[in-house]
Amino acid sequence: MSRLPVLAVPCCEPGRGGGHLVRCVTLVRDLRSLGREAYLFIARNNEIADRLIAETHFDTSWIIKNSFDPDSAPGASYPGTSAAFSIARNGWECVILDNFQTQTEEFSRWEKIAPLIGIDEGGPCRNKFNFLIDILPGITRHAAPPNISDPSLLPLPEKTGQQRSRTNGTPLKVLVSFGQEDSAGLGLACARALADAVGKANSILDITLLSGRAAEAEQGRGFTVRANIPRLSEHLKEYDLLITHYGITAFEALYSNIPAALVSPDPYHEKLANATGFFSAGAGHASAKKLAGLLIARNAVAVNESFLDDLKKKCAALAARHNLDKKPERSLAALVNSFELHTARDCRACGAPANGKIIARYPERSFRQCPSCGVISMDRLTPPPVEYAKDYFFDFYKKQYGKTYIEDFPNLVNMGAKRIARLKKLLPRNSDNSSDSSNSGSTHENAKPKPRLFDIGCAYGAFLVAARDAGFSPLGIDPAEDAVEYVRGQLGLEAYHGIFPRDKPPAENKSENKPSNKYDAITLWYVIEHFPDCAAALAEIKHTLKPGGILAFATPSYTGISGRASIRDFLEHSPADHWTIWPATARQQALKKAGFTIKKTVSTGHHPERFPLPGKNAPPKKGALYAILLAASKIFSLGDTFEVYAKRK
């Protein structure tokens, strides 16, 4: 099956340098080398972008160059080709924005196109991205942590080496680089400050200024000016010291075992440098002179080796902290290529536009709360690693409950009997024949037909047994073939292998419009959270139920004591295949929207020991404190799971 292409969108605004563009160029090229279709989007003409693309020999047929507005310009063509390519909804697997700070208007345009992945995103829309990858550490991102944080995902040099060994009398080779634009003019300021510090003793330093802005007249004033060094990261190892600002080049130097001293163009970059652990002389031109004073001994005839040694140690420790002291395990392209995104544009439970903020992120998934119904939906970078087979009901079940499903079967039947009793009380009288079937005077001719129950996710049939014993005619469906075979062979009950709602009940397939083929009750015990499209499943359940029929289900709740104590911990430990997590309230907006009226909710899964402070001091399942906390949990519906009984309108 062919995969949709990836679109990378770099920041090309004047004053933002070329790092974002270089990173996206590398990403697209590396994805292409992995056999993945990928393209680069350039939003506007930009001389620096054009020059960098030319210098990297990037294939221009991989570029979409357009003043893009997805509302008014749904298509664009690739330069160098005659084929038009639609930039349209569902045309891309994902759009990767390496944008520095994405503003609301631009975000609203891109989110109509595909799921959005932000790289080092620092704008007001950070909490709205489907997924975030932070490569460079930030200063405010702890309040909105990313899915993945890894500086080793930088486009690092292919070759590194030991630091250059300097002998006595050998000049210190210094590279001064502040990016292609260097709008603050710090590169020239630093080069001049160093040259002035050594004066006539210019054999102490061998200074190279890398700058596209430096005037040719500066040549020969104690330093060499170069407009560009192609593939700069590969040449860093040729120098003894890098002077730059906070950014990609500084981290590339760490990986290349080259000490980096920073001078910041503004207070923001200074905060970044200090928060990350780099040495920085400060912000502005005055800091260039300060750095020169630290690097050159007071007598101006030698390098301050003590300062240089301390800088080397600081950078080595920083490299180890950010995993830049060894070869990276993966590249950004390899990471992106491994993604198989499972996202939803709308709330998975009620179908409302998914305009809520992400409330928690983890390496493989993000959680977003619907402002309409309150249900939390999960998005995943990769498919959930769960298969519903025999091991799920034995090894996985035993790990969670201490015994296998079959060993726990009698207890599950008893639990099912309690649920079926609640359900029967809500059924219309003409659907419940339990009293009629118990009358000794009833005959086969005048006995009412048994109410029909459809159990979705029936497993090994414990609830089907309880339903049969309560006078129902039950049918089950389960994705595990072993479970279905057990229900049929060992229990003698009806069940079929499949996944609802794709695989509808057999009678529904034959004559889905006849009321006699509809069910009096449909149950899902810890199943509803497994539907990626819960809204569609609820619609099909409504169609399969008789008017007035009962929908009953149990599911985890984030409004229980565990979720209230720490929603982040609760979501982090939520199973990988739980696409929705519900609030345990009687006002289930998702159910109302689907055409159901809530008749009863039951708080279950009470854990007094999970109360943040007193619970830790309560002896397990005994003692007065445990009893008090258990009572409080039940009174205030603080169970970590709950049951819902709703009637079809």
Higher pLDDT, 144 or 447: 144
Kindly state whether residue 121 falls inside one of the protein's structural domains: yes
Q: State the pLDDT at residue 77.
A: 40
- How do 376-380 and 580-581 pair as beta strands? antiparallel
Amino acid at 493: L
Helix (H, G, I), strand (E, B) or coil at 620: coil
Return the closest-CA partner of residue 194 out of 288, 304, 286: 288
pTM for the full predicted model = 0.86
Q: Point out the domain boundary residue: 321, 349, 374.
A: 321
Kindly state whether residue 460 falls inside one of the protein's structural domains: no
Question: Residue 48 sits in which domain range?
Answer: 6-155
Q: Examine the pLDDT at 7 and tell me if it is beyond 90.
A: yes
Provide the phi-psi class of 312: left if phi over 0, else alpha when psi is between -120 and 50, else beta.
alpha
Return the closest-CA partner of residue 186 out of 208, 228, 214: 214
Kindly state whether residue 634 falls inside one of the protein's structural domains: no
pLDDT tens profile 394-409 = 777 777 778 888 899 9
**Poorest-confidence range of 47-61, 177-191, 235-249, 408-422?**
47-61
Residues 117 and 232 in one domain: no
Our count of domains for the chain comes to: 2
**Poorest-confidence range of 91-95, 289-293, 500-504, 619-623?**
619-623
Q: State the pLDDT at residue 353.
A: 86
Task: Quote the percentage of the chain above a pLDDT of 90.
Answer: 61
Kindly state whether residue 341 falls inside one of the protein's structural domains: no
Kindly state whether residue 94 falls inside one of the protein's structural domains: yes
Residues 104 and 239 in one domain: no
Residues 97 and 219 in one domain: no
Token couple for 571: 């979501």
Q: Point out the domain boundary residue: 155, 183, 204.
A: 155
pLDDT category at 53 given cuts 50, 70, 90 is: confident
Task: Quote the percentage of the chain above a pLDDT of 70.
Answer: 84
Q: State the pLDDT at residue 78.
A: 36
* DSSP of 329-395: S--HHHHHHH---B--SB-TTT--B--SPEEEEETTEEEEE-TTT--EEEEESS--S---SHHIIII
pLDDT tens profile 535-557 = 999 999 999 999 999 999 999 99
Q: Point out the domain boundary residue: 155, 189, 205.
A: 155
Q: State the pLDDT at residue 164.
A: 66
Strand partners, 511: none
Residues 185 and 151 in one domain: no
Q: State the pLDDT at residue 163.
A: 60
What's the CA gap between 559 and 570, in Å, rounded? Answer: 10
Q: State the pLDDT at residue 435.
A: 42
What's the CA gap between 380 and 339, in Å, rounded? Answer: 9
Q: State the pLDDT at residue 300.
A: 66
> CB–CB of 55/34 below 8 Å?
no
pLDDT category at 70 given cuts 50, 70, 90 is: very low
pLDDT tens profile 118-139 = 999 989 999 999 999 999 987 6
Kindly state whether residue 138 falls inside one of the protein's structural domains: yes
Token couple for 487: 């229900």
Q: What burial class does residue 353 get, using C-beta atoms within 10 Å of its C-beta: 0-12 exposed, 13-18 middle, 19+ buried?
A: exposed
Strand partners, 9: 97
Higher pLDDT, 392 or 294: 294
Q: State the pLDDT at residue 427.
A: 94
Average confidence score pLDDT of the chain? 86
Token couple for 460: 């090994």
Q: Residue 221: which CATH number?
A: 3.40.50.2000
Kindly state whether residue 38 falls inside one of the protein's structural domains: yes
Residues 142 and 180 in one domain: no
Residues 230 and 308 in one domain: yes
Residues 37 and 79 in one domain: yes
> CB–CB of 380/342 below 8 Å?
yes
Residues 182 and 133 in one domain: no
Residues 271 and 145 in one domain: no
Kindly state whether residue 427 falls inside one of the protein's structural domains: no
Residues 36 and 141 in one domain: yes
Q: Pinpoint the alpha helices (H) of 66-165.
A: 104-110
Residues 88 and 200 in one domain: no
Residues 24 and 132 in one domain: yes
Q: Would you give the end-to-end CA distance of the chain in angstroms?
A: 41
Number of Cβ atoms within 10 Å of the Cβ of 623 = 13
**Half-sphere exposure at residue 561, Cβ-oriented, CA atoms within 13 angstroms:** 24
Q: State the pLDDT at residue 74.
A: 32
Number of Cβ atoms within 10 Å of the Cβ of 143 = 8
pLDDT category at 69 given cuts 50, 70, 90 is: very low
CA 629 to chain centroid, in Å, comes to: 36
> CB–CB of 352/589 below 8 Å?
no
Return the closest-CA partner of residue 561 out of 456, 634, 644: 634
